[in-house]
Amino acid sequence: MQVYISADMEGTAGVTGWVMTNPGEHDYELARRLMAAEVNAAIEGAFLGGATTVVVNDSHDGMRNLPLDQIDPRALVLSGSPKLGSMVEGLTDAFDLMFCTGYHAMAGSPSTLAHTYNLTVQQVEISGRKVGELGLNAYWAATFGVPVALVTGDDVLEAETEALLPWSRYAQVKEARGRYASLSRSAEAARAAIRQAAEMAVREHSAMKQLPPPENPELKIRFTNPGQAQTASICPGAERLDALTVRFGHSDYREVYRAFRTMVTLASGQS
Ligand SMILES: [Zn+2]
């Protein structure tokens, strides 16, 4: 039983601002410690549930957040960037389950620190369905036959998870009270909830389902300014629909995901 963990930071209990999630800012060291402890809770739960291998992909910002000397020694950690697969780098069909820890809901939602990859993106649709990082990554996992079995974050992401992945276990560690505010469980209580949900997710592995991407998936990204959409439309195969919106269609979802990453990376230079 091999478990892959995509570990983000914004959905960690007690994390409420970019001053905590940006390396070098004054509360970052606290936030990375809280993140690492929640990841450890997921690792511990996975092993309690029967996992034999756990690989953690550091999925936040520059992907150098998890201090290796604080991580459960049974796990392997993939860190650093750029990585071709970004938040889902290293996920293959060798894995049985994916966990998404410290996640946040999609751009435009009331989730604490909501965004989709970065702040250039207002909205993402795959074949008409609005998705955030969770949806984009769950579709990717399904192309390898891997279901998402555990998600952790705030109450807004919980609703997003229930709509998208109703079979998945969820550990709610905080309630969003604003873009930069949340009512958080204690670090200890959050870790206990994650440990228990992770253990149950592995025990219930046969009930977990994949989220297959739609056939011939069509990606639409609405950016926050026209310069971003214009730069994103340099991506081969992309088509600009209006001042803010760019579309890309392909029969292979992995190509769609790569186009998404390409366009967002291009757009990032146009603030
Ligand atoms: Zn993040």
Confidence of residue 271 (pLDDT cuts 50, 70, 90): confident
Residue 144's domain is classified under what CATH number?
Answer: 3.40.50.10780
**Residue 228 falls inside a structural domain:** yes
**Cα–ligand 1 centroid distance for 81 (angstroms):** 13
**Mean pLDDT of all residues in 177-183:** 98
* Segment 21-54, tens digit of pLDDT: 999 999 999 999 999 999 999 999 999 999 999 9
* Segment 58-111, tens digit of pLDDT: 999 999 999 999 999 999 999 999 999 999 999 999 999 999 999 999 999 999
| Whether residues 202 and 225 fall in one domain | no
Count how many domains the chain has. Answer: 2
**Cα–ligand 1 centroid distance for 133 (angstroms):** 10
Percent of the chain with pLDDT over 70: 100
Catalytic: 115?
yes
**Residue 125 falls inside a structural domain:** no
Residue 231's domain is classified under what CATH number?
Answer: 3.30.1360.130
* Segment 91-103, tens digit of pLDDT: 999 999 999 999 9
Can you give the pLDDT at residue 83? 92
**Cα–ligand 1 centroid distance for 11 (angstroms):** 8
* Segment 216-242, tens digit of pLDDT: 999 999 999 999 999 999 999 999 999
Give the chain's length.
Answer: 271
| Whether residues 58 and 28 fall in one domain | yes
**Mean pLDDT of all residues in 126-135:** 98
**Residue 213 falls inside a structural domain:** no
| Whether residues 143 and 225 fall in one domain | no
**Residue 40 falls inside a structural domain:** yes
Catalytic-role residue among 26, 60, 104, 115? 115
**Cα–ligand 1 centroid distance for 50 (angstroms):** 28
Residue 244: give the domain boundaries. 218-267
